[in-house]
Amino acid sequence: MAERGASGGGSGGDSLDKSITLPPDEIFRNLENAKRFAIDIGGSLTKLAYYSTVQHKVAKVRSFDHPGKDVEQDHEPPYEISVQEEITARLHFIKFENTYMEACLDFIRDHLVNTETKVIQATGGGAYKFKDLIEEKLRLKVDKEDVMTCLIKGCNFVLKNIPHEAFMYQKDSDPEFRFQTNHPNIFPYLLVNIGSGVSIVKVETEDRFEWIGGSSIGGGTFWGLGALLTKTKKFDELLQLASRGRHANVDMLVQDIYGGAHQTLGLSGNLIASSFGKSATADREFSKEDMAKSLLHMISNDIGQLACLYAKLHGLDRVYFGGFFIRGHPVTMRTITYSINFFSKGEVQALFLRHEGYLGAIGAFLKGAEQDNPNQYSWGENYAASSGLMSTSPELCPTQRARSGTFDLLEMDRLERPLVNLPLLLDPSSYVPDTVDLTDDALARQYWLTCFEEALDGVVKRAVASQPESMDAVERAEKFRQKYWGKLQTLRHQPFAYGTLTVRSLLDTREHCLNEFNFPDPYSKVKQKENGLALKCFQSVTRSLDSLGWEERQLALVKGLLAGNVFDWGAKAVSDVLESDPQFGFEEAKRKLQERPWLVDSYTKWLQRLKGPPHKCALIFADNSGIDIILGVFPFVRELLFRGTEVILACNSGPALNDVTYSESLIVAERIAAMDPIICTALREDRLLLVQTGSSSPCLDLSLCTSRTTTCMVLPFAMWVLWTKLKSLVEKCLSPLSILLACSVLSAKSRLDKGLAVLVRERGADLVVIEGMGRAIHTNYHALLRCESLKLAVVKNAWLAERLGGQLFSVIFKYEVPTK
């Protein structure tokens, strides 16, 4: 993580408000609910960590109790919507210069309300220096933790929980940052921590690691010698000098010694033969920039060679570099990378971390929270509140660096259940969910960033409309606009800020920003209306399908799935039609579809497969509410059930655009079951299971640690109906406390608390159906599975359609069978 110099001076006693460019309450957020603290104090930087509870709004849906009512004649909405408060857990990490220590401690003390903490875990050399000050200011006992243990714990944590945490740096490539996908098994690896000196640690498991070597030549050496050579006392200023220097003016190169004969030796003429070698014989003065560059190369090369030798000695091929010496500085990373590649002949990878500056603070926090077993949860980076990786390169967005000041932020939200890989992935270690890497594809990046900018007004309008009774909805929506617009501008200049930039990450960032300003479900009323209208058409659609011959019915079912997928409010081409023509419906959508042969057309192969034995179990990832889920997906599900195939229908846990959520799917299924005996029987016999994916994203990641898509809760449909009726009765008769107790008892005894991965194994899923542009094109288009898969979508973006070789409303119908 890059550090920035102070925007203006200031001693520890200065007012925090005057010393920084961001309001203090935007830095130290949720302090009033802080539960536990940890701090990592280095020679120049402090990293503070604390855990807090965050109250935010969530949209809840609840079915009306209308027994015996004819659904088609029911003019009321199918369910009611309420916005309720919910409490979730969040980790906050803040990094600032030690000069702000006293002012920051004063601010924290003045804003702590009801902390449960009596002790603050501390690590780093400054834990001793500032011990008395911390105890005096915060009235908390300082409990010092082992530096190396904290570093390892922190490194393991970020590698497991943050997507695209590790990256390779290649200066002359485009892009320079090559992010690594999260590997299911992160061990073993070598951690090279470059602080004042260098520590080298071999990490074999979560709790087993060994210090195997080090060096006294590290960041302190660069800082100290740099200060003597250039009279520059600030570390960041030294780095800036180095970035402008030419080391060849100071260093003796191979070509300086051998001339043109270096080629006969198989050596590059630009290799450094002797650091500072020219200074002994030259009569002229050398510039500060050239000396700083030469010094940085000398120390970085030395560290790289040392790390490479230890990696080879211990048979390791992954080396992670951390410590304040790195700071995301391009020259440092480039030199270390070159050194590792040169001495290992490409057999060892030099990897850097987006959040390397937080490792000690994260580890200290985890040490203090061991009684809460934080590893039982998964954690996800909150893009709305995190600074992201910032380059210190002077040519990259200098206004952004000045504006961001000296404070760097990382926030992570707790997910209530651990995440695992979907067991149907052919090779989890090579699975890449996203189809296009926008960090790599500059043309696509510019298009999609512009696309999201142009869509912002519509999202703001929809957010305000979703809360008509709120007095401050307009004000909050404007704050959302500013926040998300700022994120988009950051990504224009630094597309690597949050790891690999993709359409999925742009969508997820937008959802994070909406939630930040309490717009949990801007499309809730749209979905409510469309679900009600589609339910009234369900019986006529199924009657029409049942009247067809078998082969004709299969094509009609697929066309129904595709037509339903047209109704995507996230696609501008569709939202423009839906807003201008309220009568646009299922039949109109069918007429919009591309005629066969489709852009990608495996339908004939699919039809041939259907003439064989039925699948054992189909896992279907649904997309949109309304016509899509009710008139497209459920008739398709009904046909599979009729063939004897069990079905697991997976829907988002939380809202995103007009995607159907798990709670909405339960209500929709209840209403459909009242109309259709096939669905009703399958639900009652647990041959149709409704599950939540754990995701709140319009896209789909089937792997560990990304869109939170592989965790689910399963509640048998009959039990859910029983619970809703009991809950209605309880609410009429009992106090709120009694309701809470009743909820707890029923939940504990009736929920089948199984992860989606476990359910897929138990039911022997042999078919995966993924529908929608976000889930089947932006992500998973190239995903390889162990079983048959069906990926289908309508391309509702003209630019994307042209890129794929088609036109607007072209059809993707991709049926794949794994090789034996």
The helices-and-strands tally (H runs, E runs) of the chain is: 31, 23
Which backbone phi and psi does 393 adopt, to 5 degrees?
A: -60, 125
Q: In angstroms, rounded to a whole number, what is the distance separating the alpha carbons of residues 552 and 140?
A: 73
The radius of gyration of the chain from alpha carbons, rounded to an integer in Å, stands at: 29
To the nearest 10 degrees (0 to 180), the angle between helices 456-465 and 473-493 is 160
HEC profile of 148-185:
HHHHHHHHHHHHHHCCCCEEEECCCCCCCEEECCCCCC
Read off the tokens for 552.
């004709």
- From the annotation, which residues make up the binding site for Mn(2+)? 623-624, 659
Per the CB < 8 A criterion, the answer to whether 565 and 812 are in contact is no
The widest CA-to-CA distance across the chain, in whole angstroms, is 100
**Cα 358 to Cα 96, 376, 482, 705, 720, distances in angstroms:** 11, 21, 27, 19, 44
Strands (E), 487-547: none
Q: What are 105's strand-pairing partners?
A: none
Q: In angstroms, rounded to a whole number, what is the distance separating the alpha carbons of residues 88 and 413?
A: 8
Q: In angstroms, rounded to a whole number, what is the distance separating the alpha carbons of residues 527 and 70?
A: 21
Read off the tokens for 82.
């309420």
Using CA atoms of 381, 385, 388, 390 in order, give the dihedral in degrees to the nearest 10: -160
What DSSP string describes 24-43? Answer: HHHHSTTGGGEEEEEEEE-S
Nearest to 656 by CA among 445, 448, 513, 481: 513
What DSSP string describes 625-687? Answer: TTHIIIIIIHHHHHHHHHHT-EEEEEEBSS--TTBPBHHHHHHHHHHHHTT-HHHHHHHHTTS
Contacts for 732 with CB less than 8 Å, ≥ 6 apart: none
* b/e burial code for range 100-132 (CB count within 10 A of at least 16 → b): bbbbbbbbbeeebeebebeebbbbbebbeebbe
Length of the chain: 820
Q: Which residue has the tokens 């195997």?
A: 212
What DSSP string describes 690-746? Answer: EEE-S--SSS---STTSS--S---B--HHHHHHHHHHHHHHHHHS-HHHHHHHHHHH
What DSSP string describes 192-232? Answer: EEESSSEEEEEE-SSS-EEEEEEES-SHHHHHHHHHHHH--
Per the CB < 8 A criterion, the answer to whether 562 and 593 are in contact is yes
**What is the bridge-based pairing of β-strands 119-123 and 79-97?**
unpaired
Per the CB < 8 A criterion, the answer to whether 126 and 98 are in contact is yes
3-state secondary structure of 274: strand
Contacts for 422 with CB less than 8 Å, ≥ 6 apart: 702, 703, 710, 756, 757, 760
Which backbone phi and psi does 412 adopt, to 5 degrees?
A: -130, 130
- From the annotation, which residues make up the binding site for acetyl-CoA? 196, 199
Q: Which residue has the tokens 């500056």?
A: 357
- From the annotation, which residues make up the binding site? 196, 199, 623-624, 659
Q: In angstroms, rounded to a whole number, what is the distance separating the alpha carbons of residues 323 and 200?
A: 11
Read off the tokens for 247.
């080391």
Q: In angstroms, rounded to a whole number, what is the distance separating the alpha carbons of residues 379 and 471?
A: 33
